[in-house]
Amino acid sequence: MNSKIVVLAGDGIGPEIMDSGLKVLRAVEDTCGKTFKLEKFPFGGAGIDEAGASLPEETLAACQTADAILLGAIGGPKWEKMQDTPEKGLLALRKTLNLFANIRPVSVSSALLHLSPLKPEIIEGTDLIIVRELSSGIYFGEPRELTETMAFDTARYQKDEIERIIHSAFKIAQGRSKKVTSVDKANVLASSKLWRATAEEIAKEYPDCQLEHQYVDSAAMKLIQNPKAFDVIVTENLFGDILSDEASVLPGSLGVLPSASHSDGGPSLYEPIHGSAPDIAGKGIANPISMILSVAMMLRQSFQEEQAAQAIEKACDAVLSNGLFTHDLGGQASTAEFTDAVIQELKGA
């Protein structure tokens, strides 16, 4: 039975929100009709402290044989100046597991409309997914150089790397409103020209779907002008990083956004989109929604437990609608209080 979950709690608020996510997971096990096997391993700063490496060998080996991986968050000032850093561990984990497709759903709960700096009528009903290429592009391209007076990076894409991420986007779009917006800078960048041409080619395999192209500068503007115009956005590594942070303004806090990263057939990794939030770590006030919704994504995408996933999403929304908010959302609830309320809601469902 596929039920082995490797748990990487990580640093900062990582362990606090992981605790919430795992409690919620335990609360839906009855619905799933199975007991998940949870195996905890050190990773990130905790890996450096406990096992001498940001990605200890044992941790990597466990991830490679997992059915899914849950990650809290990594990093913090303590490890910033070290030779090995938590971020290096994360990049190595993504690369080794070939996690090329990063899926970031962004929807806006009606209970949170008042929090966004944008007008409620603009963001109400927003429901989009950013599909970000995670394993290539300018983050990895060689050569790169940095001197005191000159620096350059290389934005490199192989055609097959573009093909597989465009396929991922279309497959997601098929289960939704069948519209894919491919974001590039094809008027300037060679890598974007190949991106656009490849997207056109792959689109022919999905005649039920519609493909549109947007330049990244214009997409950045439209994302906050009219977010409802988007359904599935697919884009390269750097543009995806920037657009998804921009999109996090829509629901009002980073603390409510989950993500999934997929490979071709290997284990997927689920994690909040935010970092380890060292400024609030240890205070018990972090918003656990991002982690709880990451657990829901895992249940849906790695274990086909749609019912349990929906129950969790509804429970979070119900608790927010009842007016219980953590500090980032302008409320007073602690991480534990919010989590308990979600579990009560699940029990009542």
Q: Is 101 annotated as a binding residue?
A: no
Q: Which of 11, 157, 184, 185 is catalytic?
A: 185
State the minimum distance, in angstroms, from the CB of residue 288 to ligand ATP: 7
Report the distance separating Cα 221 and Cα 216, nearest Å.
9
Catalytic pick among 19, 139, 179, 314:
139
User: What Cα–Cα distance (Å) separates residue 349 from each residue in 119, 121, 343, 344?
Assistant: 32, 30, 10, 9
Is 47 labeled as ligand-binding? no
Nearer to ligand ATP, 15 or 164 (CB): 15
245 annotated as belonging to a binding site for a ligand? yes
285 appears as a binding residue in the annotation: yes
Q: What is the DSSP letter of 235?
A: E
In the complex, minimum distance from the CB of residue 262 to ligand ATP, in angstroms, rounded to a whole number: 20
Is 162 annotated to bind ligand?
no
Nearer to ligand ATP, 4 or 327 (CB): 327
The pairing of strands 268-272 and 210-215 is unpaired
Contact 228, 145 (CB under 8 A): no
Going from the C-alpha of 198 to that of each of 35, 131, 157, 206, 289, the distances in angstroms are 43, 16, 11, 13, 36
Nearest to 171 by CA among 128, 131, 116, 225: 131
Sheet containing strand 268-272, edge to edge, reads 37-40, 4-10, 68-73, 268-272, 258-262, 101-107, 127-133, 232-235, 179-184, 210-215
Q: With respect to ligand ATP, which residue has the nearer C-beta, 10 or 227?
A: 10
Least distance between ligand ATP and beta carbon 216 (Å): 20
* Cβ proximity to ligand ATP, 105 vs 255, nearer residue: 255
Burial grade of 119 (CB within 10 A; 0-12, 13-18, 19 or more): exposed
How far is the CA of 239 from the CAs of 148, 244, 271, in angstroms? 26, 8, 19
Least distance from ligand ATP to the Cβ atom of residue 260, Å:
17
Report, in Å, the least distance between residue 17 CB and ligand ATP. Answer: 6
To ligand ATP, the closest distance from the beta carbon of 255 in angstroms equals: 3
Nearer to ligand ATP, 214 or 290 (CB): 290
Catalytic residue flag (residue 217): yes
Considering 23, 245, 314, 340, which one is annotated as catalytic? 245
229 is in an annotated binding site: no
Catalytic choice (30, 34, 159, 217)? 217
List, in order, residues 6 or more apart from 309 with CB less than 8 Å away.
Answer: 296, 297, 299, 300
Kindly list the residues in this chain that would bind ligand ATP in the complex (CB under 6 A): 13, 17, 75, 254-255, 274-277, 279-280, 286-287, 290, 328
> What does DSSP say about strands 151-152 and 145-146: parallel, antiparallel, or unpaired?
antiparallel
103 annotated ligand binder: no
Residue nearest to ligand ATP (CB): 275
**Closer of 104 and 274 to ligand ATP (Cβ):** 274
Please tell me the distance from the alpha carbon of residue 296 to that of residue 24, in angstroms, as a whole number: 9
User: Quick check: is 139 catalytic?
Assistant: yes
Can 245 be counted among the known catalytic residues?
yes
> b/e per residue, 191-213, with b = 16+ CB within 10 A?
bbebbbebbeebbeebeebebeb
Q: Give the annotated binding-site residues for Mg(2+).
A: 217, 241, 245
Residues identified as active-site: 139, 185, 217, 241, 245
Q: Give the annotated binding-site residues.
A: 94, 104, 132, 217, 241, 245, 275-287
